[in-house]
A and B are shown apart, each in its own frame.
Chain A
Amino acid sequence: MDVLWAVLVQPFVDMVSAPDFLLQVLWDGFVGGVLYALIALGFVLIFKASGIFNFAQGIMVVFAALTLVGLYALGMPAWVALALTLVVMFVLAVAVERLVLRPLVNQPDIILFMATIGLTYFLIGLGEFVFGGEPKVMITEALGLPTGMREWEVFGGVVFFQEIDIAAAAIAIVMVVGIGVFFHYTRIGRALRAVADDHQAALSVGISLEQIWVIVWFTAGVVALATGIMWGARSDVSFALQIIALKALPVLILGGFTSIPGAIVGGLIIGIGEKLGEIYWGPLIGGGIESWLAYVIALVFLLFRPQGLFGERIIERV
């Protein structure tokens, strides 16, 4: 009985009795969710356009952040470093298309998936070789990102907002809206959707798969860079960061592999759910809950909506 009480009632009592703290937890969860969503977005972009589950998305985040920090360390202004990093990400996209995707065209998906694992290790090696293996500090201030803290007195308490988190949320929103508009209202966006829907048909109307893949991988690279900057600003830039790619998996299960809104909503649900679980239920089983809770949330969800939150509805007409 006590166990049931502790699991089913007590956490909610805690939430209601300290609403300011709840708000703080929700905000932290939200910020985490935004970052999950950004990573998932990178996966979705590539999966939509090529059907490839890009295992290297996590390392791309690290690689992009390392490149930015590394270039800045060479003594150039932050904005130049940023621009050059974008160039590097573009070159990476072109290289991936030329050296990995093109030779493997028409191979089974699993082969391509393997290739992205290979790509992961290549990028780890390249990153360590060029920038060294030790953790680095993100150049938050040099990039002009705010680092202060805001307080909000509410419900008789104080909720703290890191300004960098606010900036992260704002930038994420701008990026997501930008990508959405790009997909829906431009000709390239139309071509991207065409490729996502039917490769052969897209080829037959003269859409160049090579061009589309470069664009998609570059976009994923840009998203990775943004993720790297935001995440790096909260902790630091190290190869350990690539583990967050694993957090994207439950987000994708939840949101569907092909849906941009799904990635966002899924990211937020996982982020907030994880935080709530960690704070209110975690102590019951001695903590450590956040490493697997996301998967539990995703699995429970899967029971009710096998196609994911926004995934294409599975309609089978007889």
Chain B
Amino acid sequence: MTAAVTTIRAAVTDAGGPPLLALEGVTLSFGGVRAINDVSFDVRKGEIRAIIGPNGAGKTSMLNVINGFYHPQQGTITYKGTVRRRMRPYDAASHGIARTFQNVALFKGMTTLDNIMAGRTLKMKRGFLWQCLRYGPALSEEIAHRRAVEEIIDFLEIEAIRKTPVGKLPYGLQKRVELARALAMEPELLLLDEPMAGMNLEEKEDMSRYILDVNRLWGTTIALIEHDMGVVMDLSDRVVVLDYGVKIADGPPEEVQKNQDVIDAYLGVPH
């Protein structure tokens, strides 16, 4: 990448305040299968944290635990200093946790604009009865939110597809709309599940730039799962490596890359 990106990287590495999110001894099983086994790690305020590991390592389950889709059987999750045992997705969202999905979960029948507007749901303050209407204060609130959404559209350069039903968009753009919807929530913690899966090189570079910009411009803390090691090394401040639901390494990308366990896990050495 160019010199410009390197300067940005330098700025970000300094970030690393107190932990925003800390997981302690988290264990999650489905039936008898342990998807996550006694994993602890934290995400510091302002950093980009990567979660990597071979297929089936429990990465997506980890994200699902963080945003409340799954409830771990053991362990604690401390978010913004408060311990939460059973957090529902709604609570996660209202406390500023936004996410994207590995296989793009968009509202396919709705336009790009409506999808992103849906991301504003929790920011809309007017009560239920007002929301049923499109009048007066509800309308002016709608306009204010529309402006916020337009800024995200501008940021992600998706002006051309504003009115396009997202089901008709190519995959790379769908991923971008999904990011836009998550950004519309103005999250404190952004969870990205393989944001670059299935993209071509150019789209990957664009997406990397957006992720860095989000992190830098708005100070959004990001936890991401990614397979492309190059991207992980370029983007993240710290990396946690999972294998068969167990944490096998944790640290800055350069260190993790040299870790023998990690190399074995990726090469498929039996253990």
Per-residue CB contact flags for chain A residues 46-78 toward chain B (1 = under 8 Å, else 0) read 000000000000000000000000000000000
Q: Give Cα A200 to B115, complex, Å.
A: 14
Q: Give Cα A67 to B114, complex, Å.
A: 39
Q: Assess whether B108 is in contact with A198, with CB atoms less than 8 Å apart.
A: yes
Contact residues on B (Cβ < 8 Å of other chain), bracket: 20 to 34
Is A286's CB within 8 Å of the partner chain B?
Answer: no
Q: Give Cα A124 to B133, complex, Å.
A: 35
Is B98's CB within 8 Å of the partner chain A?
Answer: yes
Q: Assess whether B107 is in contact with A194, with CB atoms less than 8 Å apart.
A: yes
Q: Assess whether B118 is in contact with A190, with CB atoms less than 8 Å apart.
A: yes
Number of interface residues, chain A, beta carbon within 8 A: 24
B212 CB to nearest A CB, Å: 23
Q: Which of B120-128, B156-164, B194-202, B224-232 contacts A (4 or more CB under 8 A)?
A: B120-128
Q: Assess whether A186 is in contact with B133, with CB atoms less than 8 Å apart.
A: yes
Q: Assess whether B131 is in contact with A206, with CB atoms less than 8 Å apart.
A: no
Is B142's CB within 8 Å of the partner chain A?
Answer: yes
Per-residue CB contact flags for chain A residues 65-106 toward chain B (1 = under 8 Å, else 0) read 000000000000000000000000000000000000000000
Q: Give Cα A202 to B99, complex, Å.
A: 11
Is A197's CB within 8 Å of the partner chain B?
Answer: yes
Q: Give Cα A211 to B122, complex, Å.
A: 13
Identity of the chain A residue whose Cβ is nearest the Cβ of B145 in the assembled complex: A187
Q: Give Cα A206 to B96, complex, Å.
A: 10
Q: Assess whether A201 is in contact with B106, with CB atoms less than 8 Å apart.
A: yes
Is A193's CB within 8 Å of the partner chain B?
Answer: yes
Q: Which residues of A contact B90 (CB under 8 A)?
A: 203, 206-209
Is B10's CB within 8 Å of the partner chain A?
Answer: no
Q: Assess whether B101 is in contact with A200, with CB atoms less than 8 Å apart.
A: yes
Is A314's CB within 8 Å of the partner chain B?
Answer: no
Q: Which residues of B contact A206 (CB under 8 A)?
A: 89-90, 93-94, 121-122, 185
A51 CB to nearest B CB, Å: 14
180-212 of chain A: CB within 8 A of chain B: 182, 185-188, 190-191, 193-194, 196-198, 200-209, 211
Q: Assess whether B110 is in contact with A193, with CB atoms less than 8 Å apart.
A: yes
Given contacts A186-B132, A186-B134, A194-B110, contact A204 B105 (CB under 8 A): yes
Identity of the chain A residue whose Cβ is nearest the Cβ of B181 in the assembled complex: A205
Q: Assess whether A186 is in contact with B89, with CB atoms less than 8 Å apart.
A: no
Is A312's CB within 8 Å of the partner chain B?
Answer: yes
Q: Assess whether B99 is in contact with A188, with CB atoms less than 8 Å apart.
A: no
